[in-house]
Structure 1
Amino acid sequence: MVYVHRFLGKWLDKNMTTNKAETLQKGLALGSGIDDYLKQIEVRRRFTLAVEQENYFYTVPKEVSIGDVRADRYYRLEIKDYESVAANTVFYGNGTSILVKALFEGKGEVVCLYEYETLDLLIEDLREEVAITFSCIYKPCYVLASNFEEFKPILDLGKLYCQYAHAPSYRKLIAEVDI
């Protein structure tokens, strides 16, 4: 059984056919929704293995509604039409910062909200999302600090950094950001 990121797993759930070559070609085709991700060697290797073995799995955090948000938990919020891009905008943060972003900012529409029991689980998922989407600038992703500052997460030599959204030259390790 091959572990793939949830973006690829969901795509495979919808597009996997008995013809393995066809599934691979469909995934690699421009505009497939995952073609940019598959430019990375390790991602493509796992994807190809999953298709060849027809046996894969992926993890998805618990989906919750906005009314279930708790201050002591961590969340991934996806908002449609937040920025002027085709993809949804994603925010990672604690319950309070996510509630403020979702309810009081008045921009866009909440698409989905995932809950993590610990900060470590949130950071693990964030690291994977940044790694798989590093070349996909059209998929905006932000980290919300507990004081509501917005950071753009970046991966550099395997380390996860938070770069100020409005001051790209300044960044700090994710461990230094109070989420």
Structure 2
Amino acid sequence: MTHEEFRNKIKISSEQAHKELFEAYCNYVYTIVFNRLRSCASREDMEECVCDVFADVYCYYDSEKELSGDISGFIGTIARRKAAVIYKDKVSNENTVSIDDELTQQLTSEQDVESETAANEQRRIILGKIAELGEPDSTIIIQKFYYGHSAREIAEIVRLTPENVRVRSGRAVKKLREMLEKADISL
């Protein structure tokens, strides 16, 4: 969800806008919180942290500011900071059971879940923008950049000449680049 979309939705109904924001970013926030707190907090603590993150987003987000792009950076920053505060509190608490190094290494993920989630979100946005191009441009872009097909192969799929495919491809890439810049995504 972009800043502009959220601002427009909040003007219509703040309750509905908050609900849609929560549905769109709940998994993203939970991933950030889980990644930070899995070694020291209970599931209930993590869920409470997620709720606190959204409470802070609703309280501190200024819908009157003229911002552009995706709101996920703002939400991710609040989630990381809120999880860090809880982590510090849990670790510094004397009643915390210490975990030995071997167990900690087993719990540590080989993957960076947070960056993977952000990358998946970016891919979802890009594919959405490609779909907004309409047919046959979206098919041409998908076939060319995702499947590596030549203009001749694409021409058979979309029933155009290879020359038309090349021209449409160039125009579609230019239009897609502009759409992604408006969404604050650079390739």
TM range (shorter): under 0.3
Q: TM-score, normalised by structure 2?
A: 0.23
Structure with the largest fraction of strand = 1
Larger Rg: 2
Which structure's relative contact order is higher, taking Cα pairs within 8 Å and 6+ residues apart?
2
